[in-house]
Chains A and B, each alone.
Chain A
């Protein structure tokens, strides 16, 4: 069945380069999550507001982010915006695409969490003399993050998996990009991508495990 000699040593020799790529992967994922969370909080507030001028753009963002492929969103940032004369390099385009996607999904997560927090809490804060922004920041937001922490972790893992799409717009520095670059020079596709798959699996598991540890530290009473 296998008339093929596997060359694992060649793949292992590439390991240092791939680990460097993994760092870039993590960097994109962390940055896109940080910006995604910030935008998502804003979008959630906008979607919950009474003004249709605030609601409409936030709703449009969320629905487009959730109903089109992530790859389409990255293409839009890379090729689409270039049509407007705004050229984003592959790294920025990937980051923008994933951030857009993260923000859309996280907005709905946060809205769900906000629904679970009784309105009386914010009012209790207000009656103690807090301003509206203060009550949101000190009373509502910490609970919102606590409730939405498991889906946040999932989204982080998703963000890591999504970074692999950077190679389709020509990013050559993240884990998939480095692997593809090595592949085009050595043609050891199976060995190299098998190693990349193992690395992705380890990163995903490390992030999920780290998040559980963090949740245990952050959210105990």
Chain B
């Protein structure tokens, strides 16, 4: 149990897998957040009926398993003849998936800013854009940030599924090592510990922010 054939090179291999996990997560969260802000602002302001197709589409991204979305996205780009790499496909699908959740967070944050506050801003002569930038954004950020941190961690964990498209991220890397070394429990524990080390401190930070910012309401 204590003796292991895991060498430093194998650990580096796992580390590289972890870097791929982080890269996919960062790209997906960046893309998803940008889209989510755009969709969220639309959802908070535009006509409800006009947005019905968008709302339905984002609901689909939240109600269909991510694995199916990845397989479907990969099949679609092949059928369409775009020739995307698995990495690009994964990033695009994960971004869309993230945007579906980010939209709800942004919408909630915008709606958490009291209407009266915004009217006060407008009546002082601020334009809609100024009102959004200097009133809604700072106030909404406090509401959105804890959930956004949770979303980021969720995407990090969900990004493990891109292994199905053949990308060697952390979990797939550990699986390759298991096939070679035949020590599933030990290697999986190492991989799990890496995930935990990535996620736990940030989760703690998010919980702290949430508590602290609720207090001075």
**A2, A69, A80, A161: most-surrounded residue (chain B CB, <10 A):** A69
A67, CB-defined interface residue at 8 Å? yes
B51 within 8 A of A: no
A167:B67 contact, CB within 8 angstroms = yes
At the interface, yes or no: B175 with Cβ under 8 Å from chain A?
yes
- B63 contacts the other chain (Cβ, under 8 Å)? yes
Q: Contact between A3 and B81 (Cβ–Cβ < 8 Å)?
A: yes
- Whether B171 contacts A197 by the Cβ 8 Å rule is no
Give the contact-size bracket for chain B.
Answer: 35 or more
Main secondary structure of the interface of B (DSSP, over half): helix
A191 to chain B, nearest CB (A): 9
Interface assignment of A132: CB less than 8 Å from any CB of chain B: no
- Among A1, A75, A80, A165, point to the contact of B81 (Cβ < 8 A): A1
Could you mark each residue 33-48 of chain A with 1 if its beta carbon is under 8 Å from any beta carbon of chain B, else 0? 0000000000000000
Inter-subunit contact A67/B164 (CB<8 Å): no
In the complex the two chains form, is B63's CB within 8 Å of A204's CB?
yes
**Residues on B close to A: CB < 8 A?**
60, 63-69, 71-72, 74-76, 78-81, 153, 157-158, 160-161, 163-164, 171, 175, 178, 183-186, 188-189, 191-192, 195-196, 199-200, 203
Known interface pairs A64-B192, A67-B203, A68-B157; A164-B68 also in contact (CB < 8 Å): yes
Q: Between A and B, how many residue pairs show CB distances below 8 Å?
A: 111
> Digit string of A46-72 for contact with B (CB within 8 Å is 1, else 0)?
000000000000000001101111111
Determine which residue in A3, A63, A80, A165 has the highest number of CB atoms from chain B within 10 A of its CB, and name it: A80
Measured between C-beta atoms, what is the minimum distance from A84 to chain B in Å? 6
Query: What is the predominant secondary structure among interface residues of chain A facing chain B?
Result: helix
Contact A164 B65 (CB under 8 A): yes
CB nearest to A160 among chain B residues: B65
Interchain nearest-CB distance for B188 vs A (Å): 4
- How far, in whole Å, are A158 and B195 apart by their CA atoms in the complex? 20
Report if A24 contacts B (CB, 8 A): no
Known: A68-B196, A72-B171, A76-B192. A197 touches B72 (CB 8 A): yes
Assess whether A71 is in contact with B160, with CB atoms less than 8 Å apart: yes
Chain B residues whose C-beta falls within 8 Å of the C-beta of A68 in the assembled complex: 157, 192, 195-196, 199
A83 at the interface (CB under 8 A from B): yes
Cross-chain contact B67 with A164 (CB below 8 angstroms): yes
Interface residues of A in 73-97 (CB under 8 A from B): 75-76, 79-84
Shortest Cβ gap from A79 to chain B (Å)? 4
Q: Across the interface, do B184 and A83 meet the contact criterion of CB distance under 8 Å?
A: yes
Of all chain A residues, which has the CB nearest B76? A190
Q: Is there an interface contact between B189 and A80, defined as CB atoms closer than 8 Å?
A: yes
Q: A4-B79, A72-B160, A164-B65 are in contact. Are A80 and B195 (CB under 8 A)?
A: no
